[in-house]
Structure 1
């Protein structure tokens, strides 16, 4: 993942509703959700949801597929994995470590 892609993804997630929306799609897994189901689950209006889905789609974090008369949105696990890899690429200066080891050795 390039730096500009990481910035775009992080910027898209730097809003509470979009973060909740993305997490809901991660929980849904490969089945995804329709906008109606997401709006009901998150308690938001359809036009608000549409705006935030567009932002997540533009960042590559969400995909959209038409199934008959419905749209189904899914989290892009590929992009999510690439973002996590980008963020942790130089963890512990390249040495193998666990998250616990990294936190314990941090001298911030």
Structure 2
């Protein structure tokens, strides 16, 4: 069974994020009609894709916290790319906070969903 979160409105950047969680990435993509590459489950642990203005964070139920953080970085990068913002490595506090904020939200969703199916 695939879980799809409600839309997560990301403050300030006028972006919408959805989390899709399933046993395989392909079933997640099929559920939300997202593009996927052949052998997606062999090639990737998780992935992020912007489709029709929504950023999808696609996760497997067995992903680690490390993978979730990794995908949150990609999602924030998608937002920054969309608003044409550059990250200044000498002054990246806002960028780091954006990633931390998103990770906290995604981890809560992920843990609630994966723990509810035990």
TM-score of the two chains, using structure 1 as the length reference: 0.30
More contact order relative to length (CA 8 Å, sep ≥ 6): 1
Higher strand residue share: 2
Higher helix residue share: 1
Bigger Cα Rg:
1
TM-score of the two chains, using structure 2 as the length reference: 0.29
